Amino acid sequence: MCGIIGYVGAQPATPILLGGLRRLEYRGYDSAGLALQEAGGPLVALRSVGKVARLAEKVKQELTAERQATATVGIAHTRWATHGAPTEANAHPHFSADRKLCLVHNGIIENYRAIRARLEAKGHVFTSETDTEALARLIGEHYQGDLRKAVGQALAQVEGAYGIAVMATAQPGVLVVARKGSPLVLGLGEGETLVASDASALIAHTQRVIYLDDGDIATVTANTVDIRDRHDVLREREVAELGLDLGAVEKGGYEHFMLKEIFEQAESVGNALRGRLDTEHGTAVLAGMGTSPRDLAELQRIVLVGCGTSLHAGQVGEFAFEDLADLNAEVQQAAEFRYRNPLVGSHDLVLAISQSGETADTLAAVREAKEKGALVLGLVNVVGSTIARETGRGVFIHAGPEISVASTKAFTGQVAVLLLMALRLGRGRRLSLERGRVLAAELARLPELIAQVLAQNDAIAAVAGRMAAAEHAFFLGRGPMHPVALEGALKLKEISYVHAEGYHAAEMKHGPIALLTPGTPVVVLANRSPQLDKVWSNAEECKARGARIIAVVTAGSAADTIADDRIVIPECDPLVATIPAAIALQLLAYHVARLRGCPIDQPRNLAKSVTVE
Ligand code: M6R
C-alpha cells in the first residue's frame, strides 16, 4: 500500500524515480510526488493528484532540464490515501518545519494526533491532513546534523506501521530509511543504491537486494549501507539475488496486466506443481513444510488465515484438508484472528496465505499464532516478503510478480499448493495409495486443463457481452465451488464495479433471492460433482424468478434446459475443477470490466498489498 522509491548515485535521479513509481503504481495511485536533493541547494519537491503520468507531466513542465540532469539523489512516493483525501497537499513527500528535511512514508502513524497536537502547541503549522506530516516534523524537531539519530529518536515515539525514506539538505548523498510493518528493500548497484517498497521497482537497476527487517534503520549512500536493528546494533543483512527479469513486470503485448496474468496460469500453476508431485506414490513432496511426517500425523487441526482472494483460496483448502487429509480444518479471516483470542496450540498448524506476504492482518495473525505456540507455515508468492521471512518455513507458489490489483494467478497457485499439501498430509494419514495416485495424476493435468479454459477466451467474452450492462450479479456454488463463487463475485465487483454477491447456492432461497429481477445474471458453478443435482435445483429456483443463468458446466455433461449461457470447463476431479472454474470467472470479470471501460489493472479505491489494518 503506497509505493516508495529512493535513489542515491551518480545518475540523474528523476527518471529513475519516475520509472520506479510507474512500477509501484499498483500499490496506490491516487496521488504521487517526488523530492530531489542537490548538494548545497534546497530540497525540490513536486506533487500531483492522480496517476504517476500526471506527476511526470508536471516534472516536464516545472523542472528545468538542468535540474533534472544534476540532481542525483531523491525520494518518491505513490499514495493510497489513509489520512486525508487524495489532494496535492496530502501527497508525499512531507517536510519538517524548516523544510530542510523531507520524507515519504508507507503505513499509518496511529498516534499522529497526539504528536500533531504537541507540535502545534509548539507553533507548528501543518499544511496537510496526513499522519505522515507529523512524523516529518517530529524528525525535524530532533535533527541536529545526524539524520539517522533524529529518525531513531522520532520513531521511538511513534506507534503504528511505517516504511520511510528521509533525506536532509545538510547531508547530501545520504538517505535514511526505516521500517516497521511496511516492507522496504535496498537495491545494491554499481556506485548507486536504491530503496523501494517492493523489488519490482528495482529489477531494472539491480538483482542484488537486502530486505530490511522490522525495526531496522539503514543509512545509505551511493556506495555504503549501514543497517542498525531496533537496539541500534550494527547488522549484516544477507544480500539476496532477485532472480527476476524485466519481462515479469511488463505487459508483454497484453492490453492489461490482469489479462497477461490470467493467461500465464497454465505456466504459473505448472511452476507451483513442478518437482512437487509424486504420481507413483500418490503424494506430494513439499520440503518447505519442514516438519517430520510424525509431527504432521499428530496434527489435530489446521487453521487457514488470509484476506480477500487468499481467504477464498483457504476456503477451498478447507474442503481439501477435510476430504483428503481427514483433518479438522477451518478458515479464519486474518483480521479477526488475533482479536478473538484464537484457540490454537502446539498441535495446530496455522497456515498463512498471502500473495504479497505483506498483508498487515495476515502478518498479525502469524505473529499471534507463533505467540500461541502453533506450528506456523506461510503459503506465499513473494519471496523475501515479511510473512515468508517471519514464518521461516512454508511453501512458495512461484507465480511470479502479480501486478494487477485483482489477484488471479496467485489464487490458482495457492489452490494448487493447498491441494498438494492436503494430498501430502492425507497420504501421511488415511488417504489410500489408489486415491492419492488418482488425485496426483489429476493435478499433473492442470496446465493442460487450464489451457483448455484459456482457449475459450472469445466464447467467454461473448458471454460477458450479454451480462455487461447488468448492475447486479450473483455467483452460486456448493462444496469447494462455494469459495470459487465468492472469488468470482469479488473479481467482478473489484474490476467492473458491478455489484456482485457470491453465495452458497442453497442460501439463495434464505433471503438473497428477493433481490432477483427479470434478467439478473446468476452465475452458477454447475460442474460435475456429487452435489450437481442440488445445484441445478438452486439454479431452477432463480430461473423461476426471471434470472438469467450463466452456468459453468463440465465438458460432456448432459445438456441442461436451464442455462441461458454456458461456459465449459474440462472434466476433472471436483477439487481440481476449482482452478479451471476460477479462471473462467476471471475471464468473465475481465471482459465485463473491459466492456464497461473500467481501469482494469488499477480499480478505483483499491491498492495491491494492504499493509495497514
Ligand atoms: O497479498 P495478499 O494475498 O495477502 O492480499 C490479500 C487481499 O488483499 C487480496 O487478495 C485482495 O483481495 C485482491 N484485491 C483480490 O483480487
88 and 217 belong to one structural domain: yes
- Which pLDDT value is given to residue 370? 95
Which residue is closest in CA terms to ligand 1's atom 11? 308
Q: Nearest-CA neighbor of 309 among 486, 497, 505?
A: 486
Q: To test ligand 1's pocket by mutation, which of 407, 604, 608, 611 has the most ligand atoms within 8 angstroms of CB?
A: 407
Domain enclosing residue 312, as ranges: 251-444
CATH of the domain at 25: 3.60.20.10
What is the CA(529)–ligand 1 centre distance, in A?
28
What is the CA(2)–ligand 1 centre distance, in A?
15
Residue with cell 434470472: 547
Supply the DSSP string of 336-360, one letter for each residue: HHGGG-----TTEEEEEEESSS--H
Which residue is closest in CA terms to ligand 1's atom 4? 354
User: What pairing do the DSSP bridges indicate for beta strands 348-354 and 301-306?
Assistant: parallel
What is the CA(259)–ligand 1 centre distance, in A?
17
Report CA-CA distances (Å) from 224 to 70, 186, 188, 209, 460: 21, 11, 9, 13, 53
Inform me whether the pLDDT recorded for 297 exceeds 80. Answer: no
Q: Which atom of ligand 1 is nearest to the CA of 408?
A: 16
Sign of CA dihedral 204, 210, 216, 218: negative
288 and 354 belong to one structural domain: yes
- Which pLDDT value is given to residue 294? 63
Catalogue the E-assigned strands of 64-203.
73-79, 94-95, 101-109, 160-168, 175-180, 185-188, 193-196
For residue range 172-198, what is the model confidence (pLDDT) as tens digits?
999 999 999 889 999 999 999 999 998
284 and 428 belong to one structural domain: yes
Q: To test ligand 1's pocket by mutation, which of 307, 363, 381, 408 has the most ligand atoms within 8 angstroms of CB?
A: 307
- Which pLDDT value is given to residue 247? 84
Q: Which atom of ligand 1 is nearest to the CA of 382?
A: 1
256 and 317 belong to one structural domain: yes
* Distance between CA atoms of residues 366 and 376, nearest Å: 7
260 and 228 belong to one structural domain: no
Inform me whether the pLDDT recorded for 295 exceeds 80. Answer: no
pTM of the model: 0.90
E strand or H helix that includes residue 392: none
What is the CA(381)–ligand 1 centre distance, in A?
12
- Which pLDDT value is given to residue 181? 87
Which residue is closest in CA terms to ligand 1's atom 7? 308
396 and 282 belong to one structural domain: yes
91 and 195 belong to one structural domain: yes
For residue range 133-162, what is the model confidence (pLDDT) as tens digits?
999 999 999 999 999 999 999 999 999 989
Active-site annotation, residues: 2, 608
Q: Which atom of ligand 1 is nearest to the CA of 405?
A: 14
What is the CA(411)–ligand 1 centre distance, in A?
9
Q: To test ligand 1's pocket by mutation, which of 310, 383, 602 has the most ligand atoms within 8 angstroms of CB?
A: 310
- Which pLDDT value is given to residue 193? 98
Inform me whether the pLDDT recorded for 291 exceeds 70. Answer: no
Inform me whether the pLDDT recorded for 39 exceeds 80. Answer: no
pLDDT, mean of residues 73-83: 91
CATH of the domain at 327: 3.40.50.10490
**Cell output for 26:** 499498483
* Distance between CA atoms of residues 265 and 259, nearest Å: 10
Is 547 exposed, middle or buried (CB count within 10 Å of its CB: 0-12, 13-18, 19+)? buried
Which residue is closest in CA terms to ligand 1's atom 14? 406
Q: To test ligand 1's pocket by mutation, which of 27, 197, 311, 355 has the most ligand atoms within 8 angstroms of CB?
A: 355
**Cell output for 163:** 516504511
For residue range 559-608, what is the model confidence (pLDDT) as tens digits?
788 999 999 999 999 999 999 999 999 999 999 999 999 999 999 988 88
Mean pLDDT of all residues belonging to the chain = 94
**Cell output for 487:** 472469488
262 and 362 belong to one structural domain: yes
Q: Nearest-CA neighbor of 557 among 525, 527, 522?
A: 527
Q: What one-letter code names the amino acid at 187?
A: G
Is 126 exposed, middle or buried (CB count within 10 Å of its CB: 0-12, 13-18, 19+)? middle
Q: Which atom of ligand 1 is nearest to the CA of 309?
A: 10
174 and 257 belong to one structural domain: no
Residue with cell 482494469: 600
* Distance between CA atoms of residues 438 and 449, nearest Å: 15
Backbone angles phi, psi at 296, to 5 degrees: -65, -40
**Cell output for 168:** 536532509
- pLDDT bracket for residue 97 (50, 70, 90): very high
* Distance between CA atoms of residues 502 and 370, nearest Å: 33
Which residue is closest in CA terms to ligand 1's atom 9? 308
> Which residue, of 444, 466, 486, is where some domain finishes?
444
Inform me whether the pLDDT recorded for 361 exceeds 90. Answer: yes
What is the CA(299)–ligand 1 centre distance, in A?
28
Q: Nearest-CA neighbor of 467 among 345, 564, 392, 393?
A: 564
For residue range 122-135, what is the model confidence (pLDDT) as tens digits?
999 999 999 999 99
* Distance between CA atoms of residues 93 and 387, nearest Å: 28
For residue range 299-340, what is the model confidence (pLDDT) as tens digits?
889 999 999 999 999 999 999 999 999 999 999 999 999 998
* Distance between CA atoms of residues 372 and 338, nearest Å: 10
Q: Quickly list H helices, 519-577.
A: 532-543
The answer to whether residues 453 and 355 touch, using CB atoms and an 8 Å cutoff, is no
E strand or H helix that includes residue 306: strand 301-306
Catalogue the E-assigned strands of 454-520.
472-477, 499-504
* Distance between CA atoms of residues 47 and 60, nearest Å: 13
Inform me whether the pLDDT recorded for 241 exceeds 70. Answer: yes
- Which pLDDT value is given to residue 288? 81
Instruction: Classify 502 as helix, strand or coil.
Output: strand
The answer to whether residues 352 and 306 touch, using CB atoms and an 8 Å cutoff, is yes
Q: Which atom of ligand 1 is nearest to the CA of 356?
A: 1
Supply the DSSP string of 79-97, one letter for each residue: E--SSS-S-TTTSSPEE-T
230 and 257 belong to one structural domain: no
- pLDDT bracket for residue 412 (50, 70, 90): very high
What is the CA(487)–ligand 1 centre distance, in A?
11
Spell out which residues line ligand 1, taking CB within 6 angstroms. 307-310, 354-356, 359, 362, 405-407, 490, 494, 606, 609-610
> Which residue, of 397, 427, 444, is where some domain finishes?
444
Which residue is closest in CA terms to ligand 1's atom 12? 308
419 and 468 belong to one structural domain: no
- pLDDT bracket for residue 502 (50, 70, 90): very high
> Which residue, of 248, 266, 299, is where some domain finishes?
248
Q: Report how many domains make up the chain.
A: 3
- pLDDT bracket for residue 293 (50, 70, 90): low
Omega within 30 of 0 (cis) for the link into 93: yes
167 and 226 belong to one structural domain: yes
What is the CA(408)–ligand 1 centre distance, in A?
10
Is 372 exposed, middle or buried (CB count within 10 Å of its CB: 0-12, 13-18, 19+)? middle
Residue with cell 452435489: 531
Inform me whether the pLDDT recorded for 609 exceeds 70. Answer: yes
E strand or H helix that includes residue 425: helix 409-427
* Distance between CA atoms of residues 226 and 237, nearest Å: 10
- Which pLDDT value is given to residue 38? 84
